[in-house]
Copies of this chain bind each other. A is one copy, B any other.
Amino acid sequence: MSIESLLSKGIKATPPSFVRGILKAASDPDVISFAGGLPNPISFPQEELLESMERIVKTYGRKVFQYSITAGLPELRQYIADRYNRIFGLNLTIDNILITTGSQQALDLIGKVLLDQGDGVIVEKPTYLAAIQAFSMHRPVFYPVELTEEGMNPEQLANALQNPVKFVYAIPDFQNPTGLTYSAENRRHIYEILKDRNVVLIEDDPYGELRFDGERLPYIGAGKLPNSILLGTFSKTVTPGMRTGFIISENKELLKYISIAKEAGDLHTNIFSQYLIWDYLANNDLEVHIAKIKALYQKQAQAMMDAMDKYFPSTVKYTKPHGGMFLWVTLPEGVSAMSLFPKALERKVAFVPGDPFYTGTEKANTMRLNYTNADCETIEEGIHRLGDLLSTLQLFL
């Protein structure tokens, strides 16, 4: 009586997460891991959160422990609406916002609400591996569009839109995995391409607050495209352990269906966490806190780039992020980052090979490096180890 015969086609089509699969190896204390996407714990305001916990238990009592409504805590949704209205000139009310169990759940809900088998999904090439996972469950057809230093390739996007596409999934700021950011011009271009089409634009923005260089750019669709969805999270600015993200959309009909999927998915997001994050935000200056995180990440990103300049062969290229948590390394053509991975682990350094960030099978010569979860000395040592390995490799090229 094998379970195999009972499994759905959807789960068989869903790749396990490479990152989650190597968590064990990468958490060996001797291994310097650039593999995960962990914030630096300094970005967790522990003392202030503990104060908020005491305050909300005392002030709201049972309410922070009871079942709650699906859309999420009104006060927290109001805070989010106010913040986006202020920073981006949007015109949001709490009815435009639904709290999710982390941004990952938003991807799950969007897949459920929009995708049937065979539907088209446009993604960046490469894109966030857990978005590929969440959408794959529905067995869509992926149309990857090349991501360049400017953003999505507009011609490829227009071509991909000839297919029966339900949505475009984009991460315009400090993209995961590449660290690239769409230019203002590219954003306008994409808007022009999408504005008369009946597709949904998903702008996933977990890192936008973490810009340590230059000015924030306007969203592509938020406030302009009626069928657009903007995703945000407190995971990178307050705490990821609390799994508190949010969906913003001006399309209330779409949000209504997302809410039904959320009911069926987990009833509502942890209400204690929602009170906690709201109370923290109401009693602390988020800008001051974010400024600390940004200064830290900028220093760490710089340390990684400096070390790469020092230890990597000159044939190895990498992106220079202006924010966020990742950069993207391109090895010489023909070098498989995946086959490099076990050799790197032997040298006690971990990264994510490019392969899982593509929707097709690739023997990618790319890798994602995270610079947020190690101090500068550790970063230098890890890049040194990786550089030594790459130099050995050079001998065979």
A positions within 8 Å CB-CB of B = 1-11, 14, 16-17, 20, 23, 36-39, 41, 44, 46, 49-50, 53-54, 57, 61-62, 64-70, 101-102, 104-105, 107-108, 112-116, 119, 130, 133-134, 136-138, 166-167, 197-200, 226-227, 235, 239-243, 251, 253-254, 257, 260-261, 263-273
Can you tell how many copies of this chain the complex includes? Answer: 2
Interface contact A243-B263, CB-CB below 8 Å = no
Other than the given A20-B263, A101-B101, A112-B137, 16 more pairs (CB < 8 A) read A3-B254, A8-B114, A41-B66, A46-B62, A46-B65, A65-B241, A66-B239, A66-B240, A105-B265, A108-B266, A130-B263, A242-B270, A243-B267, A243-B270, A265-B265, A266-B266
Q: Nearest Cβ distance between residue A395 and chain B, in whole angstroms?
A: 38
Say whether, besides A65-B241, A241-B67, A102 and B261 are in contact (CB < 8 Å): no
Question: In whole angstroms, what is the CA distance A69 to B36 when docked?
Answer: 12
Question: In whole angstroms, what is the CA distance A245 to B364 when docked?
Answer: 39
Question: In whole angstroms, what is the CA distance A133 to B130 when docked?
Answer: 25
One of B49, B107, B263 near A65 (C-beta < 8 A)? B49
Interface contact A108-B264, CB-CB below 8 Å = yes
Interface contact B113-A11, CB-CB below 8 Å = yes
Q: Nearest Cβ distance between residue A234 and chain B, in whole angstroms?
A: 11
Who on chain B is nearest to A257 by CB?
B11
Say whether, besides A8-B116, A198-B5, A270-B242, A44 and B66 are in contact (CB < 8 Å): yes
